Amino acid sequence: MRGNAQGKLLYDLEIEKTAKKNRKAARLARETARLTNTAEKQSDTEVSSPITSDDEIRTMGDENPPPPPHPVRTLGDYGQNNGRNANLGFQPVNPVSFDIKNTVLNALKENQYSGAESQCPNLHLEQFDEACGYTDPPNVSESDKKLRLFKLSLTGRARDWIDTLPPHTIATWDELAIKFKERYFPIHKFLERRNAITTF
């Protein structure tokens, strides 16, 4: 491209072709130099090896057989735990089993706690106690009954939280209720609300 007296650039096809040829020639020269350098380095590092007989090659191959191929695994194989303990979620120390009535299930599902800021954990515990009153399984303590049913009253982040509790570490309902309150109604919330009431 050339400029004229007015400062405008004019496109000159011949100059552009020449510049393109020069760039191509320089690129090819660099490529050729690189290839010759690598060929020289390879010839310098090559060492002639003594000729070995077929018997020697066979015995060397027998000493180090190739490893057996890995078995082909399907996607379903990755989902199996092969005897390892899978995370089953929250499990109390003494899990109990009993039939849960539909009325209890409906009451628990009606007031599920998700861990949202707008929900009150204390109110949820009161509603949970009320729902637990709808059933009285034989030979099951009140604490064990609540431990069994509490997970059903949670959803979302709260359900994820209870599944992160290590299995077989909580023995009583009181322990679980304390952990629940610590998680969803920590002391700083209590102090904020108390301060709001006292400064009203």
Q: What percentage of the chain has pLDDT greater than the value 90?
A: 5
Here the tokens at position 79 are: 């989902």
Residues written for the chain? 200
Residue 69 lies in a domain: no
- The pLDDT assigned to 192 comes to 79
Residue 150 lies in a domain: yes
Q: Read off the pLDDT of each residue in 100-119 and give the average, rounded to a whole number.
A: 86
* Distance in angstroms (rounded) separating the CA atoms of residues 183 and 114: 12
pLDDT reading at 86 higher than 60: no
Residue 142 lies in a domain: yes
Residue 122 lies in a domain: yes
pLDDT reading at 14 higher than 70: yes
Residue 89 lies in a domain: no
- Taking the CB of residue 32, how many other CB atoms lie within 10 A of it? 10
Is residue 153 classed as helix, strand or coil in its secondary structure?
Answer: helix
pLDDT in tens, 51-71: 555 555 555 555 666 777 777
- The pLDDT assigned to 174 comes to 92
What are the Cα distances from residue 162, in Å, to 59, 80, 117, 118, 158? Answer: 61, 23, 17, 19, 6
CA angle 37-41-47, nearest 5°?
A: 155
Residue 94 lies in a domain: no
* Distance in angstroms (rounded) separating the CA atoms of residues 38 and 35: 5
Residue 72 lies in a domain: no
pLDDT reading at 154 higher than 80: yes
Please state which of the ranges 91-100, 130-139, 173-182 shows the lowest mean pLDDT: 91-100
Residue 1 lies in a domain: no
Please tell me the total count of domains within the chain: 2
Range of the domain at 153: 102-198
